[in-house]
Amino acid sequence: MIRAEHLGKTYRSGQLEVPALRDATFSVDPGEFVSIVGPSGSGKSTLFYLLGGLTRATSGRVFIGGVDFSNLSDGERTRMRRARIGFIFQKFNLLPTLTARSNIEIAWEIAGTGKPMDEEFFARLTQLLSIAGRLDHRPSELSGGEQQRVAIARALITQPAIVLADEPTGNLDTENSDAVLEMLRRSNREFRQTVLMITHNPEAAAIADRIIHMRDGQIRGIEAGKGSIAHDAW
């Protein structure tokens, strides 16, 4: 579903070149939950933006479902993201004037499928995420954990093949962090989406099927996570 081949990204500031990512090669299978873990400055967020087609690599290639992002125009990359990738960010990015329901529905409208939203799936999704009773509230009326669950629903409403989550528990306390991680794991199992989560927290990373460790812009190791046992039992 996702394949990175010798992926690299170098940022330039005047005459100075800063390598943020170097020679990253790995793949993620359909329906797999993979965590990428590392300290600040390890290159994991750069990798996130490259895998999501939000920026272009300096070297190497990214394939999404067999399609090479580097061969696509900006417009084609945008359409690919809308059709196949759901994003979850640390800062929620909810529109403050809209209700939770509208914040979720707008993702469907932006996707531009030309089809009516699947109301049955919407109801199932919001119940799974425990926000069905909070849909008429604006973000300011929701807790941080509830806002992140709305953000997850927004990412999943178009039923994308891939979900990319960048530090989804970074602004949450322990209780809400645990709840959001459980929701990501459950949505991965329930809807069979391929999930790739960026985190600096080894405990959060451990729920995945596999864990990719990064440091100094390089992949330093890959190991099985706790989720691999449950994954094998599907």
Gap between the Cα atoms of 76 and 198, Å rounded: 25
Residue 231 has pLDDT above 60, yes or no: no
Mean pLDDT along residues 155-168 = 90
Which of residues 219 and 115 earns the better pLDDT score?
A: 219
Report pLDDT for 233.
41
Mean pLDDT within 223-234: 65
Q: Is the pLDDT of residue 140 over 90?
A: yes
Share of the chain above pLDDT 90, in %: 51
pLDDT of residue 228: 66
Residues contacting 170, CB < 8 A, separation 6+: 90, 199, 200
Answer yes or no: CATH 3.40.50.360 is held by domain 29-48+85-232. no
SS3 180: helix
Please give the pLDDT value at position 58.
94
What is the per-residue pLDDT for 69? 84
What are the residue ranges spanned by the domains of the chain?
29-48+85-232
User: 203 in the Ramachandran plot: left (φ > 0), alpha (ψ -120 to 50) or beta?
Assistant: alpha
Residues 6+ apart with CB under 8 A from 14: none
- What's the pTM value of the predicted model, to 2 decimals? 0.85
Strands, E, within the chain: which ranges?
Answer: 2-13, 16-28, 33-37, 59-64, 67-68, 85-88, 162-166, 194-199, 210-215, 218-224
Contact indicator for 95, 154 with CB cutoff of 8 Å: no
Q: How confident is the model over 68-86, as pLDDT tens digits?
A: 987 888 888 888 888 889 9
- For residue range 125-138, list pLDDT tens digits in order: 899 888 999 999 99
Q: What is the pLDDT of residues 3-58, one digit of tens each?
A: 999 999 999 888 888 899 999 999 999 999 999 999 888 999 999 999 998 889 99
Above pLDDT 70, what percent of the chain?
Answer: 97
